[in-house]
Structure 1
């Protein structure tokens, strides 16, 4: 194996983008469409990302200024906020326990408001657990595991706590809304428990649909008042959106605009305030998985656009619009047809 790695390394080039491969532009377009289920060119993805980075960055800037953080770029101020002692749990077992307790309180608070916007709620409970220390070094920051179909195991929202300093307080709520409620847990569990579709449809997964819903869920939590009196919590939510918008820029930048790894890494750091080590890991991911990182924000854009359209129809209600979750995951192009054909929202 070492000999094979050495052989491959000798042939490797520094350029990371698909553009350097035979039919690379067509390959990137196909990879992005497979991930997002939306047909967009690399240039279109790039322009969408730049526009959304500018809009979200301006919103963060305004809130930070109200909190007395006026010096430096948005990215620099987010770096400073990440390091503030009042935003950090101790990197100890007691600190981790306090962090998990915070997440559980957040879930309970959000669940109490769900009936305002959802006619159907999951029967399966969701628990927050720490990623087992034996696998935390290679595990993502947070992820969701659905409940068993027979009800013998609850749904689990895992959070990686190898270093609590990577999880500042102001960003915890939006991560919980993404992974648990009203994010992945609501979307996945309602599909699994739905009586409207066969089992094979209940188990379906499309990244643009599911990750787009989870980002829409972060926005919905904000709209439902989960950050009232908590401006830094709202900054955490907007930083999450900014990060996903930045992904559109750097993914298309590397694969369609011939950006170097260094340019992509520097842009990610400067825009979002994410530490260099994590940023380099993100760039590695985009290099080997072209298009996938675009599914989050493109999916979010489609979900919010469809809701805005639904609001213009007579009889719109949030509960009516959200009932489309009972039909299971589907490509975004099909979701558009379903919402428009069924008049989802009324």
Structure 2
């Protein structure tokens, strides 16, 4: 790949027009000064860059039109009654389309006549096509149904949380999507069966988790006796709201409800039952601890996963050693905080103290509805505090708000990782920080602050919302989710929050921050240990608990996550280390001219990027500060209204 974010192409001036090299023979003839040629060249660069950006937007619209679900997530209602084609044939068609667009782009645009941002977009378009093509070789290695983010949970989550019903037509589309989801689930099941024929199966615990979640989705009315299932309850609620608003008559509401029940009973339920039945039969063929190395071409597959997750060429051995070094460094800091807290035993004994004293109200919330609401309220308060200080650290601020919600019952797991779902680019739907609150003993108080900063502000919500709201770059750049960049920023945000007022004010919260960072360092060791060094599941759990206060439930959920998602967890720490490295480089080179707001705007102002591209972007920003061409965003004159605030509180 070309060197990225190159400086603007050199301006060539005709010697005949340079008065220093040639005297005109006709003194009455007006010569063309060099500045005019420079302007002409700059105009050509601007014109070619604008032409390419328009082409990108045209092609990205074609990408979106092939994915109704993506458009819905962006708040659009195109093809609103459809679910994506999940087949391998559709995947191959999209990859071939991407490769064809690369050829078209190379044939129609002059790379040397592009500005820096356009060159970045050009290279990213190629990068994405190459990454899509590389993924095709590993299509059978994906687990469509597993305990973490399997399709059995994602599809009902999408229907409930993303399909907005404002009109009768939206409701008809919702019902259509319930039936369409059955087709998608069957396509994914067929792929899973093909993988199994090749000896590629998720481990036993992943099957068990997927089966249980699938059962949860179709438990309750209208599938079984009992309370309404989550999807049925949402359908009923949407129809009732339409009727109460006068948008449909009572008779039409009854018809819609009957149609919804038919779609659930005749289409949706049988598709889910097919998944349950097949996986229940096939589970006897699974192994307890299948890792990447156990799969066909497993070593090559894991290398692909590491490269995809980190956007680097770091090897498993190199990542493992980075993890060991970071664990050792962070342990020293944790000992200091432990001593400040007043605990006289060893660090390992402090881990046990934090892990086992689940009835200590300093350490845990009660495992009650009041305790769960307390967690949500306190996390919300910490986020609100950060909002007040954002203008001191960022010039670019998000429009969209963020709220804290409990994970839906059908997919909630004790000890599972918290996560974030983005809002819409126009800010009409807020981002959501989801917390697993099934077992409050798996949610220690010391981790509440750091997780809120990671998932919401200044972490995922800040970065993703700003990316979605960016103007001046092609739209596809606003929807880039490179793991090392996205998760690296979120982990960096945990560290950044420490520099903001009113955060980590007690030893336990600071220990929680260090615990979160060492957690990600441990991931480097454990992920590579499992997939490249022959570690067992128990060895991974033991290493985790020897170096953190992680609970039994958390340790089990985390290690099972790494087994199911090879390499994914390595992006966090690698990305954070790169951002910190670039920040230190900028401070060293700029000295008193270093501005934290400018640095953060440079990191976030180009959308999600591979780490190499991010490095070139920061180098370009440093150069612009040095030569005086950088124009910082103005400080707000009134910060009483925090970023992301809306006139009305969003409904949960």
Post-superposition Cα deviations, 1:162-192, rounded to whole Å, max 9, x if no partner, equal 1222222111000000011100111011111
The answer for the alignment partner of 1:238 in structure 2 is 514
1:122 and 2:393 matched: no
TM-score by length of 1: 0.92
SS of the residue corresponding to residue 437 of structure 2 reads: coil
Q: Aligned runs of 1:174-323 on 2, under 5 Å?
A: 174-227=450-503, 229-314=505-590, 315-323=593-601
TM superposition shift of 1:344: 7.6
**Residue of structure 2 equivalent to 1:39:** 313
Distance 1:277 1:93, change over 3 A: closer
Partner of 2:610: 331
Query: Structure 1 stretch 320-329 or stretch 255-264: which is displaced more?
Result: 255-264
Among 334, 339, 343, the residue aligned to 1:69: 343
Are 1:60 and 2:60 counterparts? no
Higher RCO structure (Cα 8 Å, ≥6 apart): 1
- 1:97 corresponds to: 373
- Distance of aligned partners of 1:162 and 1:14 in 2 relative to their CA distance in 1, 3 Å threshold: closer
Which deviations, in whole Å up to 9, do the C-alpha atoms of 1:206-250 show, x marking residues without a partner?
A: 111000000000000012244464121111110000111001001
Q: Say if 2:442 and 2:554, in contact at 8 Å, map to a contact too.
A: no
Whether the 8 Å CA contact 1:28–1:255 is kept in 2: the answer is yes
1:41-82 CA distances to partner (integer Å, 9 max, x unpaired)? Answer: 1110110000000111110111101112131334x4134224
**Residues 224-281 of structure 1: CA deviation (Å, up to 9, x unaligned):** 2444641211111100001110010011111222212221121112212322333222
Residue 39 of structure 1: SS of its match in structure 2? coil
Seen in structure 2, the aligned counterparts of structure 1 residues 9 and 168 have a Cα distance that, compared at 3 Å, is same
Counterpart contact for 2:416–2:558, Cα < 8 Å: no
Q: Give the corresponding residue for 1:341.
A: 620
Aligned partners of 1:320 and 1:67: how far apart in 2? 36
Which residue matches 2:300? 26
Match of 2:351 in 1: 78
Query: In the TM superposition, what is the alpha-carbon distance from 1:98 to its structure 2 partner?
Result: 2.0
Question: 247-256 vs 163-172, which deviates more?
Answer: 163-172
Q: Deviations over 1:113-170 (max 9, x none)?
A: 1111101111111112222334323894422122223432122212121122222211
**CA distance in 1: counterparts of 2:434 and 2:557, whole angstroms:** 20
Question: Number of matched residues?
Answer: 344
2:434 aligned with 1:158: yes
Change (3 A) 1:150 1:15: closer
SS for the counterpart of 1:223 is: coil
Find the aligned partners of 1:202 and 1:39 in 2 and give their Cα distance: 25
2:324 to 50, 53, 63: 50
1:168–1:3 CA distance, 2 compared to 1 (3 A): closer
1:16 Cα shift? 3.9
The DSSP-based 3-state class of the residue aligned with 2:453 is helix
Kindly provide the CA deviation profile for residues 12-67 of structure 1, in whole angstroms up to 9, marking residues without a partner as x. Answer: 55664433445433332221011111111111011000000011111011110111
Q: Is the 8 A contact 2:306 2:570 kept in 1?
A: yes
2: CA distance, partners of 1:155 / 1:285? 24
Q: Quick one: structure 1 residues 117 and 54, their matched pair in 2 at CA, closer, same or farther if it must change by over 3 Å? A: same
Distance 1:344 1:171 in 2: 39
| Structure 1: unaligned runs, 5 residues or longer | none
- 2:351 alignment partner, SS class: helix
1:280 and 1:322, CA in 2 relative to 1: closer, same or farther beyond 3 A? same
3-state SS of paired residue (2:487) = helix
Taking structure 2 as the reference length, the TM-score comes to 0.50
Matched-pair contact (CA < 8 Å) for 1:45–1:252: yes
Runs (5+) with no aligned partner, structure 2: 1-274, 626-652
User: Structure 1 66/161 Cα, relative in aligned 2: closer, same or farther at 3 Å?
Assistant: same
SS in structure 1 opposite 2:605? helix
Work out whether residues 415 and 554 of structure 2, in 8 Å CA contact, stay in contact via their aligned partners in 1.
no
Does the CA-based 8 Å contact 1:178-1:214 persist in structure 2? yes
- Do 2:442 and 2:551's aligned partners in 1 also have CA atoms closer than 8 Å? no
Q: Is the contact made by 2:449 and 2:504 (CA closer than 8 Å) also made in structure 1?
A: no
Q: 1:40 to 1:116 in 2, by over 3 A?
A: same
